[in-house]
Amino acid sequence: MKLVWHIARKDLRRFALPAAVWAVLIVAPTIALMVIEPGIGPHPPSSLDGWGRVMGIWLQILQGIQAVIALALAAALVLEDSVVETTAFWPTRPISGARLLGGKLLAAALLFCAAPVLALLPVWLAIGFDAIAVTAAASEFVSRFGTLVLFAITVAALVRNLATFLLCAFGLLAVYVASGLAPRPLWQDASMAVRQSREFLATIAIVPALLLAATHQFATRRSVRTWGMIAVVIAFLATVRSVWPWTVEMARTDSAAQTPRAGDHPGDVVAAPAFTQHQANSIPSLYGKTVWHADGFCVPLFARNPAGEVVMRSWDQIWQRTAGLRILGLEAAEQPLWWQLEAPFYFRRVRSSPVEFTGTLEVWSIRARILGETPVRVGAKLQHDATRVRILALLSHESRLDNIYLEERDSSRNTLDRLTVDGLRRDSGHERYIDAYFVVNRATQHAVEAWSHDIGATEINSVVRRFCELGFSWPESYGEPTLVKIRFERDHAFELPLEVRGISTRGLEQFR
Amino acid sequence: MNIIETHALSRRFGRTEAVHDLTLSVPAGSVFALLGPNGAGKTTTLKLLMNLLPPTSGSAEVLGVDSRQLGEREFAQIGYVSENQHLPLWMTVRQLLDYCRPFYPTWDRALEATLLQQFALPASRKLAQLSRGMLMKAALLSSLAYRPKLLVLDEPFSGLDALVRDEFIRGVLEVSALGEWTVLVSSHDIEEVERLADHIALLDAGRLRLSETAESLQRRFRRVEVTNAGTGAVTATGWLEWERSGVLTRFVETCYEPEATERRWQERFGSAEVTAKPMTLREIFMVLARANRGNATEASA
């Protein structure tokens, strides 16, 4: 280990400067994303959207450059002690291939993972990341660049110079991407769980496969055999992605739903006995009600078909308004909460086809809490967890306040957990909360829920800056408004059986 | 005891056979010169011995271990200096030594200091800023300070001017006196190594032409001049570069044995005057090189 560190220390000294420049290239755009202010014109949505798009393009270009530089630097780290060159310095010294690989991996981990994470740490802390957000951001960075660097080390161990390395690296990446696209027609017959299992297996196989190939190459310096191993791995990945038939439970991102717990009151959730039909050629909405409990209530958020795919989801969360007002203490808890699930536009049905299927409702056991509140004025701030909210602009019409334009700075981990109305398809399976904004004046007992629309989000190194438009109607007569943010957080989820037997046009009336 | 042995060692690069069926022994304690013109297969042979290249067929043993199995323990006893080796040029001489030192349990700090002084190397200068001769000395120093059992020098004098070459040779000779090690040195020019070598092997077109001690070589080669040999005398087995000019006949005797050879000459030339002069290694090398080239030309014709 002492000699491994000795080799790593030599490389650290050699690559300290280029790696420091690379770390600056990592940190600088993150700071830029935070400090560059968008210019807000007379039409805030287009100003913010335009700013977000331009910033997004620049950041994508920079991220591409960061990746290419990381590849090249990691390759240079290996080529410094070339594995295939017969003129290299190390093979005639008492340095085994395994020890050299150990030194290279250690140096790469310090240069390309630890150093940039340490450089990003002050930025993350300044934004307000807590320990969980920092850990998630660091893990995300390390897994992304760690895999890239390991790939570069493996390929660089097989080539003589940087030009050949770049050619081989991009060639292999192209082959890997093609191996994912080629079997796409075979995906159609597989269930979502099987598809997720295939991608899961293909993803987790990459790091051990790269480590195996790198170890073999460093230990034996038999390049032909190592290239053969890489070819076998690519063929294996293509096969797994095409024909793997089983579900791997660990791979399921939608496995949050379980059976109801003791205090869940699954009987609270009542669905209308049939669909109502809004459009003849779409799968119509599903309505129902549930019982309000201040300490937590159950609401269906998704309907799934027998294959486990989400076919309906809660678009217009009508229960949120009622639940929000009750949390704010502005409405009595007498009536049930109404809920509605709708099919996305891409689930069209043929007009003549019957709407009959069995499936499941994914029910969330939700706890609601007020995250914070701030006066409605430009520049006002609100902070909770790793999220910082700032009011950028207000839009009034005559004597009525209609819109608030917000900026939310957040961690990408937190953003992944957020279920939004704008999301078309729920397939990440990470969502665990819904945020809602209310405009409130407690003195006059007025409160309105604001519909929220994401204008755009830009992300780099786990830092997300997004802009939202809140829409509502607040007459001057309601008094000075305060913006309140409420979070409906999933405590856990469970599934209830769903059986659809046809279409009804009576909708909610049948409950009344 | 032999420190290196090869058995029918061969290496092909595509259709080119760089080393063919090489069977060679390097005795322990010898300074063994592997000679041959450019492209003879010397560097390839050394790379095969150092496990930098795998052989196509045959095998080699270095320090009693199959060359394919050479590991940290063996390389801790081998010093390798090559004109082609990529040194970490960004390091200073001191940093190079500091980097190498921990890998060798037998590293001798006192010897390092002695050699640093003998070679007059500027410790704080980067390798990239050193002249070619200084660079080779730095490489030699980093390969000697741990008192290796085997020192392998691949064309160490290539590109060095006469003065630097002399210093380098003196350096090797001086350190040879400091320990008991075997030196295997490859060169395309006998002049470079004749002061060093006590064993000579001649490689040509990947084939071993001869391998013996320098003493034996010098003992059996003579440049012979015969005055009034008569017109009947022609070349015989073991004679090279036979020529006649007027009354003077010249040739190189390659199998000289004082009594037997002189008796044979007397039978052949009768009362003619025969003078036999010893040859330098360089002269012997040149004669052999010309002979091999002639054979190759005949073979290709």
DSSP letter string, A161-227: SHHHHHHHHHHHHHHHHHHHHTTHHHHTTS-HHHHHHHHHHHHHHHHHHHHHHHHHHHHH--HHHHH
B87 CA: distance to closest CA in chain A (Å): 6
Listed range (A268-272, A366-370, A476-480, B199-203) with the worst mean pLDDT: A268-272
Which residues of chain B are under the pLDDT cut of 70?
159, 174-179, 230-235, 294-301
Q: Does A336 touch chain B (CB under 8 A)?
A: no
Tokens for B38, please give them: 């450019």
- pLDDT at site A509: 55
Please list the residues that pair with A467 across neighbouring strands. Answer: A407, A456
**How many angstroms separate the CA atoms of A82 and A86, rounded?**
8
Q: Does B78 touch chain A (CB under 8 A)?
A: yes
Judge: A89–B90 Cβ closer than 8 Å, yes or no: no
Chain B residues touching A98 at Cβ < 8 A: none
Q: What percent of chain A has pLDDT over 90?
A: 50
Judge: B72–A94 Cβ closer than 8 Å, yes or no: yes
Question: Quick one: closest CA in B to A222, which residue?
Answer: B54
CATH 1.10.10 fits B217-300, yes or no: no
For residue B191, count CB atoms less than 10 angstroms from its CB and return exposed for 0-12, middle for 13-18, buried for 19 or more: middle
- DSSP 3-state assignment of A272? coil
- DSSP 3-state assignment of B17? strand
Judge: A10–B47 Cβ closer than 8 Å, yes or no: no
Tokens for A504, please give them: 């009804």
Q: For A266-284, what is the mean pLDDT? A: 60
Listed range (A25-29, A105-109, A335-339, B174-178) with the worst mean pLDDT: B174-178
Listed in sequence order, the residues at least 6 apart from A171 whose beta carbon sits closer than 8 Å to its beta carbon are none
- pLDDT at site A42: 82
Q: What is the total residue count of chain B?
A: 301
Judge: B52–A91 Cβ closer than 8 Å, yes or no: yes
Using only the alpha carbons of chain B, give its radius of gyration: 22
Mutation target among A14, A15, A89 for the B interface, most CBs of B within 10 A: A89
Q: How far is CA A414 from the centre of its chain?
A: 8
Q: Looking at the partner chain, which of B53, B72, B90 has a beta carbon nearest the beta carbon of A95?
A: B72
- pLDDT at site A345: 52
- pLDDT at site B205: 86
Q: A378 versus A361: which is more confidently predicted?
A: A378
- pLDDT at site B10: 95
pTM beyond 0.80: the answer is: yes
**How many angstroms separate the CA atoms of B81 and B132, rounded?**
13
B285 CA: distance to closest CA in chain A (Å): 28
Q: A218 versus A347: which is more confidently predicted?
A: A218
Q: Does B72 touch chain A (CB under 8 A)?
A: yes
**How many angstroms separate the CA atoms of B41 and B22, rounded?**
10
Please list the residues that pair with B223 across neighbouring strands. Answer: B252, B277
Name the superfamily (CATH) of residues B2-214: P-loop containing nucleotide triphosphate hydrolases (3.40.50.300)
DSSP secondary structure code for residue A268 in this structure: G
- DSSP 3-state assignment of A229? helix
Q: For A449-455, what is the mean pLDDT? A: 89
Chain A residues touching B51 at Cβ < 8 A: 91
Q: A180 versus A300: which is more confidently predicted?
A: A300
Q: Does B103 touch chain A (CB under 8 A)?
A: yes
Q: Domain residues of chain B, as ranges?
A: 2-214, 217-300
Chain B residues touching A95 at Cβ < 8 A: 72, 75, 103
Q: Does A87 touch chain B (CB under 8 A)?
A: yes
- pLDDT at site B295: 67
Q: Looking at the partner chain, which of A14, A92, A95 has a beta carbon nearest the beta carbon of B78?
A: A92
Among A189-203, A339-353, A460-474, which range has the highest average pLDDT? A460-474
- DSSP 3-state assignment of A347? coil
**How many angstroms separate the CA atoms of A413 and A410, rounded?**
8
Q: Does A199 touch chain B (CB under 8 A)?
A: no
CB pairs under 8 A between A and B: 52
Q: Does A188 touch chain B (CB under 8 A)?
A: no
Judge: A94–B51 Cβ closer than 8 Å, yes or no: no
Q: For A186-207, what is the mean pLDDT? A: 78
Judge: B75–A82 Cβ closer than 8 Å, yes or no: no
Q: B27 versus A311: which is more confidently predicted?
A: B27
**What is the ipTM score, two decimals?**
0.85
**Residues A335-355: tens digit of each pLDDT:** 888 888 877 654 555 555 556
Whether A123 and A141 have beta carbons less than 8 Å apart is answered as no
Please list the residues that pair with B166 across neighbouring strands. Answer: none
- pLDDT at site A64: 93
**Structure-derived torsion over alpha carbons of residues B255, B261, B265, B268, reported in degrees to the nearest 10:** -80
Question: Confidence band (pLDDT; 50, 70, 90) for A273?
Answer: low
Residue A254 has pLDDT above 80, yes or no: no
A106 CA: distance to closest CA in chain B (Å): 17
Q: For A19-48, what is the mean pLDDT? A: 89
- pLDDT at site A437: 94
Q: Does A3 touch chain B (CB under 8 A)?
A: yes
Which amino acid does the sequence have at A156? A
Question: Quick one: closest CA in A to B102, which residue?
Answer: A3
Q: For A46-68, what is the mean pLDDT? A: 91
Whether A157 and A217 have beta carbons less than 8 Å apart is answered as yes
Chain A residues touching B100 at Cβ < 8 A: 93
**How many angstroms separate the CA atoms of A85 and A157, rounded?**
10
**Residues A133-180: tens digit of each pLDDT:** 899 999 999 999 999 999 999 999 999 999 999 999 999 999 888 877
Residues within 8 A of B (CB atoms), A 14-53 only: 14
Judge: A92–B75 Cβ closer than 8 Å, yes or no: yes
Mutation target among B44, B49, B50, B72 for the A interface, most CBs of A within 10 A: B72
A142 CA: distance to closest CA in chain B (Å): 29
Question: Confidence band (pLDDT; 50, 70, 90) for A483?
Answer: very high
Mutation target among B92, B103, B127 for the A interface, most CBs of A within 10 A: B103
Whether A281 and A349 have beta carbons less than 8 Å apart is answered as yes
Question: Quick one: closest CA in B to A87, which residue?
Answer: B85
Whether A309 and A192 have beta carbons less than 8 Å apart is answered as yes
Tokens for B161, please give them: 């001017």
Chain B residues touching A3 at Cβ < 8 A: 102-103
Whether B4 and B62 have beta carbons less than 8 Å apart is answered as yes
Judge: A89–B87 Cβ closer than 8 Å, yes or no: yes
DSSP per-residue letters across B129-173 = GS-HHHHHHHHHHHHHTT--SEEEEESTTTT--HHHHHHHHHHHH
Q: Looking at the partner chain, which of B53, B76, B82 has a beta carbon nearest the beta carbon of A94?
A: B76
- pLDDT at site A253: 57
A73 CA: distance to closest CA in chain B (Å): 16
Residue A250 has pLDDT above 70, yes or no: no
Question: Quick one: closest CA in A to B72, which residue?
Answer: A94
